[in-house]
Structure formats: structure tokens, C-alpha cells
Amino acid sequence: MDKTQDSKSRSIRGIVPENHPRRESILVRERLVEAMEREVVVPQGLIAQGRGECFDYLIGEKTRDFAERALEVAAVLLIEAKNPVISVNGNMAALVPREIVELADAIPAKIEVNLFYRDEIREKAIEKVLREAGAREVLGVGEDASETIPELFSQRRRVSKRGILSADVVLLGLEDGDRTEALVKMGKKVIAIDLNPLSRTSLTASVTIVDNVIRAIPALREKVLKMKSLSREEREKLLKGYNNRDVLRGAMKFMSERLAQLSLDL
Amino acid sequence: MDKTQDSKSRSIRGIVPENHPRRESILVRERLVEAMEREVVVPQGLIAQGRGECFDYLIGEKTRDFAERALEVAAVLLIEAKNPVISVNGNMAALVPREIVELADAIPAKIEVNLFYRDEIREKAIEKVLREAGAREVLGVGEDASETIPELFSQRRRVSKRGILSADVVLLGLEDGDRTEALVKMGKKVIAIDLNPLSRTSLTASVTIVDNVIRAIPALREKVLKMKSLSREEREKLLKGYNNRDVLRGAMKFMSERLAQLSLDL
């Protein structure tokens, strides 16, 4: 088949009616499809987006109290970390580039590109997106990703010496389970943003924010600013009272009850 | 950016470990990514696959009793139809081409290509997949899709005169809600295969099979063979006792209870 056809845009951004019941959701999808055409997102990232959409639908597309609790503790961990790093993949760069930079500035934290499907074209495309969104430094691109973490089979193992390798707290969004496990085994605190409370990432992370990155990243910045005004004792109390399994159970229970309610309304 | 990079394969088929907990699911994803590289599947089809994966997970990746009930009634409708048509899109062609042809032969029914993102390259790529899988006739390609059905904004409106336009029963998989509504308004019986019991397609269809097309299409063929041996009275009884809302409620209740159970097991 003629390969020149591959680059043809399939975007329907311009033709989604203003009154379409799923307009917002469709426009987010289109943002990812366009990002794939710019090499920022890979096809597998689109499938991951779809899985997320389903779980987001089940929580009613809102930041719920189980996410609020995780956001508060995540903010405390990030503020108190010696070397906090925000790990960015293609989907996050496509969906919330400016919000990532604003969060990194508020903490402050480093930003590192980390990809399952790593190649230099993608790394640089994502770096470009982040720099255009205001990032002054982007780790994990090219030679900077020269260190490795023990892992099963993906290019996720390649990390920056000043970034994820030496980080004590790592914030991940939309991640694979193998990588989360590897980072936790290295003794790092891992904060995951994952809409699926049943994923290995969710079950393995130190703190799991069951929410859409589109809402969670700006909400996390708000919590960081708020937690900065708390005393060390108040923060300590939040950390001590936190149980990630309870949060995941809360998310699953919420989804279960919502489905039961929707079935009654049918 | 250098467009020659766009056609580079991102397949990880060769490197997924045999013991990976989600190996089957990952290989199905890879089949779709490869189909996108051949123009059969569009990026939005990958997002739809991801949504399906999530709901499939919630039903435990098995054909449940609510799907069995819908499959039986769907088989009766297809056997008794004057002009039954199986409407095929990119994802279905990528996932179950041979199974679609075998189902069409068993009924017998016509096969028609119908695409949201229609262009001649895709139509022909899908026709090729179906012909290689054994289809002798594929409607809805090129000039054959010359008729239109009233619809909102997509190329879905274009149909074949001998196929969907004059069909009394249409089988759809992985469909958009607008189209399902349009076909029902035209007085057709619509059988939908949709893992999301809350979608507009599921709510609008005459019969909704809440199951993965990978399991549902072969299962439907089995039911067709079985229902052929029933008397007209026995078939009539099945049709009379069927309530699609009950089936959808059953699917939602099942998902709800499974989530509640999983939260207890955590």
C-alpha cells in the first residue's frame, strides 16, 4: 500500500457537533490522534486512553474523595522529597504538557521523559512539546538516559542519573505495571495516576490517584500549594493516616455502586 | 518531521514474555496496531478497543448468561430474516475476519463494509481482508455504497442498495450510537455486539450482545446452527420472552457485583 497515505489526518475535530453528548471526550481523543501523527503518542497509547475512558465513565468523570485523599498525601510526599521527579510519557505530554510544567514549578520537581517505545525521534518530539509548554530542563532524552534500572523487557529501563535513578519520589501517569514494581523495589516512593484501581500499577504504587490525568495534574498542583502552608506535624499526620489499599477499595466500591445505580435507572 | 518514520512498526509481538499475565490481551492489541499499519483500522478504533478491554475485564473475559440469552434471540432473528446483513468495520475485520465469513455462510447473510472514516483505500483494504478470509461477496465498497440513510455527520450514511438499505435485520459490532439509532428508526431489527451495556448503541439496539466480538461471533454461529433445528413455535417463544433492558440490567449488575467482590478480595 502507498505509504504516503499513512500520514493522512483522520481528525474529526472540525465536524463534531456542538451538542454531541460525548463532545468533550471525543475532542480529547482527537488530541491524542493528532499527537500520534506528530510521533508523540504511539498506537498502544490510544488503546490505553480507551481503557481509561471506560473507568473514568464509571467514576462519573469527576475527582472523587478517594482521589482527593491520595492527592493530599501525594502532595506532601512531593514537597518533602529530596529529589522528586515527574516521569512523562507520550500520552501525558499530549494531554497535559502545560499542567505538568506548572506542577513541576510548584513543587519544585524535575521532569523526565520515560517511554516504553523509546526512540530518539519520539524522545525529541516529547521534549519539544514540554519545552513549548515552558519546561526549562527535560531529562531522559538521548545520552542523558544512560543509566538503567532492572526490568523485564522494555526500554523503560533507561533513565537519567540526575533524574529517576537518584529520585526518592517519582510521579507516574498512565504507566505499565512492570515499571512501577521495579521502581518500588528500588526503594522509591511511587505516586501513580491511574484510572484503573485494579491495575498492577495501582496495586503496587505507594500512592494511587484514581483519576483522569487531565483533572489530577492541576488538582495535584493545587494540593501542593495548600500543603506547603501546613506544619510538618500536620503533614506527618496525613501520611500516617493513609492506606493505599483503602483508597483502591473505595474507588472500586464507588464504581460498583454507580453501576448498580445505573442499572436501576435503566 | 520525517514522514518516512510514520510507517515504522511499533509491534512488540515478538518480545512479550510467554508468562506475561496479560499476554493474550496484549497480542490482540498488537493485531489491531498491525491492522492500523495496513490501513484496516483507524486510530479511533484503537481507543474503542481500549474501552472494550475495560468492560471485558469487568465481565471476567467470558461469555456470561446475559450474553447467551441475547445470542439465542439474535440467532433466531438472523435465521428468520428476509435479508440479513452483517455490517463490518475495521476493528471487526482485523479481529475476526474468518469468523465473520463462517457466520455469514451459516445464516446465510450478506457482508457489507460500513465505516465511520470511509475512504476507498480503507474500504478496499477491508474488502481484501474479508476476501482472503473466504468471503465471496463484499458489499458497500466503492460505487456499491451509493445509497444513503438519514444520519448526523459521518460517512456511515453510505450503504449498499442490496445490503443495509434493504435489510430487515442488521448485525453490528463496535458501533457508534448515531448509526444504531438511524437504523432502528428505519424500522430494522438491529443486533449489536457491544461490551459497554451503557452505550447508546446498547440502549438503542433491538438485541444487545454484551460480549467481546472475538468470543461472540463464533458463539453466534453455534447458536445459528442450534436454532435451525428448533421448531417455529420454539423460536417464537424465545423471541416473545426476550427483553433487551433486562439483559442490559443483568450485564450491569454482573459488573457491579464483580467489582464489589474484587474490592473485598483486595
- Of B37, B47, B196, which has the smallest distance from its Cβ to A29's Cβ? B47
* pLDDT of A2 above 50: no
pLDDT at A194: 96
Residue A207: phi, psi to the nearest 5? -135, 125
> Is residue B55 within 8 angstroms of chain A, CB to CB?
yes
* pLDDT of A101 above 70: yes
With an 8 Å Cβ cutoff, are A259 and B263 in contact?
no
- Residues in chain A within 8 Å Cβ distance of B29: 44, 47
- Whole-angstrom distance, CA of residue A62 vs CA of residue B204: 26
Q: Looking at this protein, which amino acid is placed at residue B203?
A: L
- The percent of residues above 90 in pLDDT, for chain B, comes to 70
CA torsion sign for B177, B179, B182, B188 is: negative
With an 8 Å Cβ cutoff, are B47 and A53 in contact?
yes
Band of residue A197 on the pLDDT scale cut at 50, 70, 90? very high
Mean pLDDT is highest, among A242-256, B1-15, B140-154, for A242-256
* A198 annotated ligand binder: no
> Is residue A125 within 8 angstroms of chain B, CB to CB?
yes
What dihedral angle (degrees, nearest 10) is formed by the CA atoms of B14, B20, B21, B22? -20
The domain A65-253: what is its CATH number?
A: 3.40.50.12640
Residue among A218, A213, A230 nearest A103 (CA): A218
- Residues in chain B within 8 Å Cβ distance of A7: 3, 6
Query: Using CB atoms within 10 A of its CB, is residue B201 exposed (0-12), middle (13-18) or buried (19+)?
Result: buried
Residues 6+ apart with CB under 8 A from A229: none
* pLDDT of A1 above 90: no
- Of B3, B245, B262, which has the smallest distance from its Cβ to A198's Cβ? B262
Instruction: Say what the pTM is.
Output: 0.87
* A244 annotated ligand binder: no
- Residues in chain A within 8 Å Cβ distance of B1: 38-39, 121, 125
A20 CA: distance to closest CA in chain B (Å): 10
> Is residue A55 within 8 angstroms of chain B, CB to CB?
yes
* pLDDT of B221 above 80: yes
Residue A107: phi, psi to the nearest 5? -70, -55
* pLDDT of A5 above 80: no
> Is residue B32 within 8 angstroms of chain A, CB to CB?
yes
- Whole-angstrom distance, CA of residue B191 vs CA of residue A19: 27
- Whole-angstrom distance, CA of residue B183 vs CA of residue B203: 13
- Whole-angstrom distance, CA of residue B194 vs CA of residue A120: 39
With an 8 Å Cβ cutoff, are B6 and A1 in contact?
no
- Whole-angstrom distance, CA of residue B188 vs CA of residue B71: 18
Low-confidence winner among A71-80, B102-111, B134-143, B171-180 (lowest mean pLDDT) = B171-180
With an 8 Å Cβ cutoff, are B252 and A245 in contact?
no
How far is it between the farthest Cα atoms of chain A? Answer: 65
Per-residue model confidence as pLDDT tens digits over A140-153 = 999 998 888 876 56
- Residues in chain B within 8 Å Cβ distance of A52: 50
Joined grid coordinates for residue A21? 453528548
Joined grid coordinates for residue B132? 482472503
- Whole-angstrom distance, CA of residue A53 vs CA of residue A38: 22
pLDDT at B152: 54
Residue among B178, B167, B176 nearest B140 (CA): B167
Exposure string for A182-211, b = 16+ CB within 10 A, e = fewer: bbeeeebbbbbbbbbbbbbbbbbbbbbbbb
Low-confidence winner among A77-86, A169-178, B23-32 (lowest mean pLDDT) = B23-32
- According to the 3-state scheme, what is the secondary structure of chain A? CCHHHHHCCCCCHHHCCCCCCCHHHHHHHHHHHHHHHCCCCCHHHHHHHHHHHHHHHHCCCCCCHHHHHHHHHHHHHHHHCCCEEEEECHHHHHHCHHHHHHHHHHCCCEEEECCCCCCHHHHHHHHHHHHHCCCCCCECCHHHCCEECCCCCCHHHEECCCCHHHCCEEEEECCCHHHHHHHHHCCCEEEEECCCCCCHHHHHCCEEECCCHHHHHHHHHHHHHHHCCCCHHHHHHHHHCCCHHHHHHHHHHHHHHHHHHHHHHC
With an 8 Å Cβ cutoff, are A153 and B3 in contact?
no
CA torsion sign for A192, A193, A198, A200 is: negative
Residues 6+ apart with CB under 8 A from B52: A50, B174, B195, B196, B212
- Of A39, A48, A198, which has the smallest distance from its Cβ to B1's Cβ? A39
With an 8 Å Cβ cutoff, are B51 and A48 in contact?
no
More confident call, A177 vs B108: B108
Q: What is the mean pLDDT of residues A104-132?
A: 93
Average pLDDT, chain A: 90
Q: Are the beta carbons of A14 and B153 closer than 8 angstroms?
A: no
Cell 421448531, residue located: B231
Half-sphere exposure of B7 (CA within 13 A, CB side): 11
- Of A5, A50, A255, which has the smallest distance from its Cβ to B121's Cβ? A5
For chain A positions 85-104, those within 8 Å of chain B (CB to CB) are none
Average pLDDT, chain B: 90
Joined grid coordinates for residue A243? 492506606
Cell 538516559, residue located: A145
* Gyration radius of chain A's alpha carbons: 19
* pLDDT of A103 above 70: yes
With an 8 Å Cβ cutoff, are B50 and A53 in contact?
yes
> Is residue A42 within 8 angstroms of chain B, CB to CB?
yes
With an 8 Å Cβ cutoff, are B42 and A10 in contact?
yes
For chain A, the structural domain boundaries read 3-58, 65-253
Per-residue model confidence as pLDDT tens digits over B56-102 = 999 999 999 999 999 999 999 999 999 999 999 999 999 999 999 99
- Of B32, B125, B256, which has the smallest distance from its Cβ to A263's Cβ? B256
- Residues in chain A within 8 Å Cβ distance of B57: 198
Give, rounded to a whole angstrom, the gap between the first and last alpha carbons of chain B.
Answer: 46
Band of residue A107 on the pLDDT scale cut at 50, 70, 90? very high
Band of residue B21 on the pLDDT scale cut at 50, 70, 90? low
Band of residue B231 on the pLDDT scale cut at 50, 70, 90? very high
